[in-house]
Every structure is written in structure tokens, then in C-alpha cells.
């Protein structure tokens, strides 16, 4: 991507933070507000999709409407065409959060064999679970939850940090074809199959983070994203207690249910997952899960404009619920819904109200599991727990 002028609109590009399959993320200076921001630029080759700009504007508006103390706020979104450029450049602007990510925290603790206590795990993931459920309740699925997309800031010690979820994306949710290595480590089986509109995909990714925090490793690993994705589809994960003998059996059960290959066997919400983990660890929750935190008035977007591109009209994104049986139609079509983009600049380190989609399953991989089933409550899911761990070695 060309950034000869190193400036887009009122933003001066300062430092390239990283590059993903479809975006570049920069630290930039907002010259009007006199503050640093993070700006994500979309690669021009995405414009081959004639509906891209309309969907970008529609979905950016939805994500910008999320106001939660544990979600990095989107401040601005535009479609720009610098004088020297031939192509349009869609971009989004977010608060710039300086400091470490959960990925660096894990690298310096669990990956070194220094496992954080259960209270610290709950402290880190309790607000993230609230942010995930808050977004789901408003029809937004993240699609790329991983440690590098959870920011901890610069607070010292780390126990004073405020975890924040970032990199909600736009237009193209995480798919196998454009999956980076760091995303492949946490991708759900149904995303590998091409089904991207299921809340419980986010919960699977959060379960992978749990596994890593308690064991210092991941159940599926390698150097080839395609190989890792095949493991998510068919390989049986090693029971966490066989890696870290200090893990309680009840904690192992929570983790294994969280990463069940069948979405209906997982927890129904991030709230339910972290609540079960708290009980397994015998830790009292001091905050109510799944509720939006107080909004900081300074984080409310200050510069949001829906750019109107000549000849482009934002298209509606109708979303109809799947039939009660959860079956999918057979014609190869799909209706886009608000979704998330993969590959922010933080990929550099390796490492109900939700709209449903009437989609056609793409060419499926042999032996893969079905993707969407009717929502099930906690009580109905409980009997499925033995199935989720049936193939693991006895604890």
C-alpha cells in the first residue's frame, strides 16, 4: 500500500505497527484533536469487490456504535482518495492504547512455566467476557479473538491494567483463505469450514486462550496455518491436566467444553464460560458479568462521518434467522452481516440479538461438523459435557 504523503485527511501517519493479510495498522497523530490514534488502512486490492465500500460504511457505523469500557473505541471511519492515488482507501480510526497485549503477558508467564494464579486469569478475562457478550447482544461478532487483540496497556504492575478488546473488523470476516498464523492458532472449526456467523466461534477462541493460560501451550500448533486449521477440525486436544498436573479436574472440564468442536456443546455465552471457571476455581466474582461498563465521555466518537461515494449507496444487510432445525439452504449464496476483519497490525507476534445468516455451506471438508444449531440454554448443554471430553485421557 502506498503512503507517500504519510497523511490521510487530518491524520499524520507516524509509525507502522504491523501488516495483516488485508490491512495495515499505523500509529497516527490526529492533528485537529492533538492526540495519537490507531488507524487501519485497507489494501486497495479489496476494491475488486464492487459492494465493498457500501458494506464498509454500513458495518463501520455498527461497530462505532459499541461503547464499552473494555472495547477499544472506534472514533472515525472514512473512504479517502488521496490526490496521487488511483484507488479509494477505506480506513477506520481507533483510540491508541500503548503497552503490552495479552500475548506478551502469556509469553512472559505461562509460556515460561510461570502460570498466573486463578484470580489473575479471572481478573484478565472477566472484563473481556463482558465485552464479548455486550457486542454479541448488539449483533456484532468479533471473529478473530486472540491474545494479541486483547490490550493490557502500560500499567505496572500488570495487575493494575485494564484489559480491552480490539480489532473488531469490517466487511471480510476471518476465513481460511486469508488466515494468518497467529489467527489460525485460535480459529474455530466452523470458521475453517467457511461458516463465519456464529457467536460461539468467539467463545471457542476464548477457550483456546484459557487453554494457553493454564498450560503454557496450545492444543494445535505448527508453522503452516492450513495444517493448524485441519487440526482444529479433526484432532483431539490433549487434556490440559496432562500438561500441567496442577490444574483441577473441574478446570479441565471447563476448558474442554469451551473448545468443543460442536458449537452447541460449548457454553452459550462468555459470561457462562467465565462464571463456570470461577466456580471451578472456587473464586467469588466481585463484578457482574456481561454488563456494559460505565462509558467514559471522552471515549465517545468525536468525528464520525458516513462518506458518500458517487454512485455508491450503502446496502442493507438483511439477516434472517435459520429455521428451527438449524438446517442450511443448498444454493451457493450468502447475505453479508456485520462482521469482523482479520489481520490487524498486532498480528506481528506468532502466537439474543445476534443476526443469523441464511447461508449456503461452501465446499465442506470431509468429516467436518455442522456449524449452526438452535441456541441451547445452560441446563440443556450440561449433559453434552461428557461428549466434549470423552476422547481425552482420563484425569
pLDDT at 84: 67
Homologous superfamily of 100-292+326-389: Transferase(Phosphotransferase) domain 1 (1.10.510.10)
Going by pLDDT thresholds of 50, 70 and 90, the confidence category of residue 276 is very high
Let me know: does 151 contact 163? Beta carbons within 8 Å.
yes
Mean pLDDT of the chain: 74
**For range 275-299, the mean pLDDT:** 63
**For range 241-248, the mean pLDDT:** 96
Active site (catalytic) residues: 144
Rounded to two decimals, what is the model's pTM?
Answer: 0.70
Phi and psi angles of residue 181, each rounded to the nearest 5 degrees, phi first: -60, -45
CATH topology identical between 7-97+294-299 and 100-292+326-389: no
**For range 206-228, the mean pLDDT:** 96
| Higher-confidence position of 358 and 246 | 246
| Higher-confidence position of 230 and 50 | 230
**For range 31-48, the mean pLDDT:** 82
| Higher-confidence position of 318 and 285 | 285
Q: Round to whole Å and give the CA distance between 234 and 132.
A: 26
* Residues 326-341: tens digit of each pLDDT: 333 333 333 333 333 3
Domain boundaries in the chain? 7-97+294-299, 100-292+326-389
**For range 363-378, the mean pLDDT:** 33
Q: Round to whole Å and give the CA distance between 69 and 294.
A: 7
pLDDT at 198: 87
Going by pLDDT thresholds of 50, 70 and 90, the confidence category of residue 154 is confident
Beta-bridge partners for 13: 28
| Higher-confidence position of 235 and 341 | 235
pLDDT at 364: 30
Q: Round to whole Å and give the CA distance between 165 and 72.
A: 6
Interior angle at CA 259, CA 255 and CA 264, nearest 5: 115
pLDDT at 44: 55
Going by pLDDT thresholds of 50, 70 and 90, the confidence category of residue 69 is very high
pLDDT for 392 beyond 50: no
pLDDT for 350 beyond 60: no
What is the CB neighbour count within 10 angstroms for residue 328? 17
What is the CB neighbour count within 10 angstroms for residue 330? 7
Q: Round to whole Å and give the CA distance between 7 and 39.
A: 11
pLDDT for 71 beyond 70: yes
pLDDT at 153: 79
**For range 257-284, the mean pLDDT:** 95
Q: What is the 3-state secondary structure (H, E, C) of the chain?
A: CCCCCCEECCEEEEEEEEECCCEEEEEEEECCCCEEEEEEEECHHHHHCCCHHHHHHHHHHHHHCCCCCCECCEEEEEEECCCCCCCCEEEEEEECCCCEEHHHHHHHCHHHCCCCCHHHHHHHHHHHHHHHHHHHHCCCCCCCCCHHHEEEECCCCHHHCCCEECCCCCCCCCCHHHCCHHHHCCCCHHHHHCCCCCHHHHHHHHHHHHHHHHHCCCCCCCCCHHHHHHHHHHCCCCCHHHHCCCCCHHHHHHHHHHCCCCHHHCCCCHHHHHHHHHHHCCCCCCCCCCCCCCCCHHHCCCCCCCCCCCCCCCCCCCCCCCCCCCCCCCCCCCCCCCCCCCCCHHHHCCCCCCCCCCCCCCCCCCCCCCCCCCCCCHHHHHHHHHHHHCCCCCC
**For range 125-130, the mean pLDDT:** 96
pLDDT at 48: 65
Question: Which set of grid coordinates corresponds to residue 242?
Answer: 496432562
* Residues 93-108: tens digit of each pLDDT: 999 998 889 999 999 9
Going by pLDDT thresholds of 50, 70 and 90, the confidence category of residue 312 is very low
- Is domain 7-97+294-299 in CATH 3.40.50.720, yes or no? no
**For range 277-299, the mean pLDDT:** 60
**For range 230-236, the mean pLDDT:** 95
Going by pLDDT thresholds of 50, 70 and 90, the confidence category of residue 382 is very low
Going by pLDDT thresholds of 50, 70 and 90, the confidence category of residue 81 is confident
pLDDT for 118 beyond 80: yes
pLDDT for 254 beyond 80: yes
Going by pLDDT thresholds of 50, 70 and 90, the confidence category of residue 356 is very low
Amino acid at each position: 500500500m502506498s503512503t507517500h504523503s504519510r497523511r490521510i485527511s487530518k491524520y499524520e501517519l507516524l509509525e507502522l505497527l504491523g501488516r495483516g493479510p488485508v490491512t495495515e495498522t499505523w500509529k497516527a497523530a490526529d492533528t485537529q484533536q492533538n492526540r495519537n490514534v490507531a488507524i487501519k488502512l485497507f489494501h486497495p486490492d479489496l476494491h475488486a469487490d464492487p459492494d465493498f465500500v457500501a458494506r464498509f460504511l454500513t458495518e463501520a457505523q455498527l461497530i462505532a456504535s459499541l461503547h464499552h469500557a473494555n472495547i477499544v473505541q472506534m472514533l472515525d471511519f472514512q473512504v479517502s482518495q488521496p490526490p496521487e492515488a488511483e484507488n479509494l482507501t477505506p480506513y477506520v480510526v481507533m483510540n491508541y492504547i500503548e503497552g503490552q497485549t495479552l500475548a506478551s503477558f502469556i509469553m512472559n508467564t505461562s509460556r515460561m512455566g510461570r502460570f498466573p494464579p486463578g484470580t489473575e486469569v479471572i481478573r484478565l478475562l472477566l472484563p473481556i467476557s463482558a465485552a464479548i457478550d455486550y457486542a454479541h447482544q448488539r449483533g456484532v461478532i468479533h471473529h478473530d479473538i486472540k491474545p494479541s487483540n486483547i490490550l493490557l496497556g502500560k500499567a505496572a504492575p500488570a495487575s493494575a491494567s485494564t484489559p480491552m478488546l480490539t480489532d473488531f473488523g469490517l466487511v471480510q470476516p476471518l476465513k481460511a483463505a486469508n488466515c494468518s498464523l497467529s489467527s489460525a492458532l485460535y480459529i474455530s472449526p466452523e470458521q475453517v469450514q467457511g461458516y463465519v456467523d456464529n457467536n460461539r466461534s468467539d467463545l471457542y477462541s476464548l477457550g483456546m486462550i484459557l487453554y494457553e493460560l493454564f498450560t503454557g501451550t496450545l492444543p494445535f500448533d505448527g508453522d503452516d496455518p492450513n495444517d493448524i486449521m485441519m487440526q482444529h477440525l479433526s484432532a483431539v486436544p490433549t487434556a490440559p491436566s496432562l500438561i500441567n498436573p496442577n490444574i483441577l479436574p473441574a478446570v479441565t472440564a471447563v476448558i474442554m467444553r469451551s473448545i468443543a468442536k460442536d458449537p452447541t456443546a460449548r457454553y452459550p455465552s462468555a459470561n457462562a464460560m467465565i462464571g463456570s471457571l470461577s466456580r471451578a476455581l472456587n473464586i467469588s466474582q466481585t463484578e457482574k458479568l456481561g454488563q456494559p461498563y460505565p462509558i467514559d465521555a471522552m471515549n465517545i466518537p468525536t468525528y464520525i462521518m458516513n462518506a458518500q461515494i458517487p454512485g455508491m449507496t450503502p446496502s442493507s444487510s438483511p439477516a434472517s434467522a435459520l429455521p428451527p432445525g438449524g438446517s442450511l439452504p443448498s444454493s451457493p449464496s450468502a447475505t453479508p452481516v456485520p462482521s469482523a476483519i482479520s489481520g490487524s497490525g498486532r498480528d506481528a507476534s506468532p502466537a439474543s440479538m445476534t443476526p443469523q445468516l441464511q447461508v449456503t455451506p461452501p465446499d465442506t471438508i470431509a468429516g467436518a461438523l455442522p456449524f449452526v444449531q438452535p441456541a441451547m440454554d445452560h441446563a440443556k448443554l450440561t449433559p453434552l459435557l461428557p461428549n466434549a471430553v470423552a476422547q481425552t485421557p482420563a484425569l
